[in-house]
Structure 1
Amino acid sequence: MSVTKLFVGNLPETVRKGDLTALFEKEGQVVECDVVKDYGFVHYATEEEAHSAVENLNGFLFCGSKLRVEVSKSRVRPKPGMGGKGECFRCGREGHW
């Protein structure tokens, strides 16, 4: 599985999705970008582009903040109730319905 999702930390409060996309597009084709408060995620089309962004933008001063850019450690989780039998259809946990 290729690594194309990056975590971007220490974002200034004023940064919007378009701002982050514009910065990261300098390293390659951004296929998805999300901003959540003071952090965000950027997805690239290729693994090479993602690694280039980590190398060139980690520690980059952006709108007065030093960015933290690294390969995301988060995994895609299945939706609740989409697992095996015995799981709650609302929360995905076992032991109750």
Structure 2
Amino acid sequence: MRVIFRFQDCLDVVQGGVLPLNETPIEAEKAEFREATKRDSKATFLIHQCVDMANFDKISAASNAKEAWEILDKCYSGSTKVRKMRLQFLRRQYELV
């Protein structure tokens, strides 16, 4: 996915999100915000296209690409405690075989 985001020029939006506008933005800031919003929409579309229905249900309520990416990252990587438990379980299965 990161390669696709990099190719589509969306990786910075997925990792950092879209910065909100100031109270009195100038035209350059408005144009930059519009461009960042377009790239965020493109990244959200790419994420939606690359996941199955079970994962789509998890991320369908996400309002932007960063939020959807964080949900997927949390589901698949988990916390360090969960990863340690998985490794212990796999090691135990391997030793029993």
Same fold (TM over 0.5): no
- Structure with the bigger percentage of strand: 1
- Bigger Rg over Cα: 2
TM-score (norm 1): 0.26
TM-score (norm 2): 0.26
